Amino acid sequence: MKRDSETLIHLCDRIRVILEGDPRITEKRMFGGLTFLLNGHILVGAKNDGRILIKVGKEADNDAALARPGASQMMHGSKAMRGFIWVDPDAIEDDDELREWIALSQRHAAGQEPV
């Protein structure tokens, strides 16, 4: 297994502080990093390179998220994965910015049935 980068460890610590105390949160290794799940649904994934992956749903929130600086659509080969957004490290340097991205994803995940 690939060793976690200092960047990933620091990013995960920041995410844990934001999500602290929420019993619905679990952690799972996926997408080459560590993903935080809300009731079993992807909330935010942290990568070794400092990016995060959030799930916002396929509808209006996808386009709104893409309009924000540092956001790009997740791709699987040549297929755009609507509802999944990569966020560059520069766009989440500030804890408030990271918190806003996570809140966007929380609104989507909280509306889904627990798995």
Q: Which CATH number fits the domain that encloses residue 63?
A: 3.90.1150.30
Q: What is the pLDDT of residue 2?
A: 65
Whether residue 115 is contained in a domain is answered as no
Whether residue 75 is contained in a domain is answered as yes
8 Å CB contact between 26 and 40: yes
* 109 or 12: which leads in pLDDT: 12
Whether residue 20 is contained in a domain is answered as yes
The length of the chain, given as a count of residues: 115
Q: What is the pLDDT of residue 78?
A: 95
Whether residue 55 is contained in a domain is answered as yes
Q: What is the mean pLDDT of the chain?
A: 94
What DSSP assignment string belongs to 17-64? HHHTT-TTEEEEEETTEEEEEETTEEEEEEETTS-EEEE--SSHHHHH
Containing structural domain, residue 34: 6-110
Structure confidence at residue 41 as a pLDDT band (50, 70, 90): very high
Q: What is the pLDDT of residue 70?
A: 97
Between CA 44 and CA 108 the distance in angstroms is 11
Whether residue 51 is contained in a domain is answered as yes
Whether residue 1 is contained in a domain is answered as no
Q: What is the pLDDT of residue 110?
A: 86
Between CA 115 and CA 112 the distance in angstroms is 9
Q: How many domains does the chain have?
A: 1
pTM of the model: 0.92
Structure tokens at 11: 């990013």
8 Å CB contact between 43 and 5: no
pLDDT tens for 51-106 read 999 999 888 789 999 999 999 999 999 999 999 999 999 999 999 999 999 999 99
